[in-house]
Amino acid sequence: MSDSRVALVTGAASGIGAATALALAERGLRVVLAVRQPHKANEVLAQIESLGGAATAVPCDVGDYASAQAAVQQAINAYGRLDALVNNAGVIAPIGLIDQTEPAEWAQAITVNLTGVYYMVHASLPHLLRSPAPSIVNVSTGASVRPLEGWSAYSASKAGAAMFTRSLHLEYGENVAIYGLQPGVVDTPMQGKIRASGINPVSQLTREQLDPPQKSASAIAWLTDHQPQDLRGQELTVRDQSLMSRISPNTI
């Protein structure tokens, strides 16, 4: 089942990250699950192994550059190469009006959601540039272009990450397939925190109104696998039916 390609997915213990790791494994890639607590990825690892795939979990705090470097190096130690990076790890907190948020927590959101993307890319690029067909997918959000009450840290950090995607494409797009993907509202643990906050319309959505994480995961896996030239450097969304129609109906 496995080919030689290796993908590293951050925040891969649950939600979109876990579903993406499985989707990539189903396409034959060997997967490195970069998570803060590797034991929490045991269920995902077992699922990949049951498919006949290869995967390993490594500790990674994306907001710490030394940790990001160490995670990438462990991927190289395990599999000898790196072909794809999926920057999925992120935080929604703090949720609240600006004057009611804690400055340290607000700054931490910037560190994880923006600086963490830079850290992972910076640590990965020397290895990705040695791949015959490297790719990077940064998991984005519609909140990067449309502010929502109570989400100032999340929206600002993700807006910065979206511009970083464009900057990355400008500098490395000739050699690396780079995309941003907006998943929309997805049934993940993060959505549980949003519902508990009771702030803004997104918190009022029921679980039945949310998309399964597999929808976004299959789009990420498709971008990683097919690397469409006409979509490179763009912020894409799963709500774009013209995009989703390009993905096999069996995967969405």
DSSP letters for 43-62: HHHHHHHHTT--EEEEE--T
DSSP 34: E
Q: Which pLDDT score, from 0 to 100, does residue 252 have?
A: 44
Structure tokens given for 252: 């969405």
180, 236 Cβ separation under 8 angstroms:
yes
Task: List the pLDDT tens digit at each of the 252 positions of the chain.
Answer: 446 999 999 999 999 999 999 999 999 999 999 999 999 999 999 999 999 999 999 999 999 999 999 999 999 999 999 999 999 999 999 999 999 999 999 999 999 999 999 999 999 999 999 999 999 999 999 999 999 999 999 999 999 999 999 999 999 999 999 999 999 888 888 888 899 998 998 888 888 888 899 999 999 999 999 999 999 999 999 999 999 999 865 444
Q: State residue 216's pLDDT score.
A: 96
Q: Which two tokens stand for residue 58?
A: 């490594």
Measured on CA atoms in the order 32, 34, 35, 39, is the torsion positive or negative?
positive
Given 119, 154, 172, 179, which residue is catalytic?
154
Is 79 marked active-site? no
SS3 186: strand
H/E element, 30: strand 30-35
Q: Backbone phi, then psi, for 94, in 5-degree steps? A: -85, 140
Res 249: pLDDT: 55
Q: Which long-range contacts (CB under 8 A, 24 or more apart) does 99-103 make?
A: 101/152, 101/153
At how many degrees (to 10) do helices 65-79 and 116-128 cross?
30
Residue 76 near residue 175 (C-beta atoms within 8 A)? no
Q: What's the CA gap between 168 and 157, in Å, rounded? A: 16
What residues have CB less than 8 Å from 85, skipping those under 6 apart? 7, 8, 120, 121, 124, 128, 135, 136, 137
- State the number of CA atoms in the 13 A half-sphere of 156 facing the CB: 15
